[in-house]
Amino acid sequence: MRRGLTPLLWTLFSAGGTLAAFLYPIHLFLTGLAFPLGWLEPPSHEFALSLLRHPLTRVYFFGLISLPLFHWAHRFRYTLYDGLMLKHLTIPIVIFCYGGALVGSLAAAYLLWTLP
């Protein structure tokens, strides 16, 4: 039974939502508030780069960026359908949302693959 792609999209939505729920609060707190406001010392460039170079970290950040982007795509699509009653614009909305998530994922993959 291959009824459309919805189950796959829902899987990405769920995985992305779970990752975002567990990890985004702390990451956003550190990067967006604690480090800039001086509550905690941000990692040095040397350490950040060496940490990022590790294959496991690359996989981690790829997942951390890509999956929540697909979570956003799926959720925002339905927010536009129901919240603003834009269901008649299905095609541009689908392209914008999942296309956007795809572009973000490709950018993440490129950046993480080509680290100096």
Partner 1 sequence: MPETVQLTVTRYRPEQESAPTVQTYEVPYRKDWVVLDALNYIKDRLDGTLTYRWSCRMGVCGSCGMMVNGEAKLTCATFLSHYQRGPIRVEPLTYFPIIRDLVVDITDFLHKLKQVKPWIVRREEKPLAEGLSSVRPGSGQALLGTGEYRQTPEQLELYKQFSMCINCMLCYAACPVYGLEPSFLGPAVLALAQRYNHDSRDQAATERLERCSEHDGIWQCTFVGECSKACPKNVDPAGAIQQFKLAGTLHWFQSLLLPWGTK
Partner 2 sequence: MTTGPAYTSHHPRWYRRRVSVWWWLESWRYAKFVLRELTSLAVAFFAVLALFKIRAIAAGPEAYARFLERLQNPVFLLLNGVAFLFVLYHAITWFNLAPKAMTIRVRGVRVPDWAIQAGNYLAWLVVSAMAVWVLRRG
Which residues make up the interface to partner 1 (CB under 8 A)?
1-4, 6-8, 10-11, 78, 81-82, 85, 87
Tokens of 116: 């100096």
Q: Is residue 114 within the footprint of partner 2 (CB under 8 A)?
A: yes
Q: Tell me which residue has tokens 């939502």.
A: 17
- Work out what residue 104 binds among partner 1, partner 2, none; the CB cut-off runs from 5 to 8 Å by kind: partner 2
Letters for 47-86 (x = contact with partner 2 by CB under 8 A, - = none) are xxx-xx--------x--xxx-xx-xx--xx-xx---xxx-
Tell which residue, 46, 57, 62, 53, has the closest CA to residue 114: 53
H helix and E strand count, the chain: 4, 0
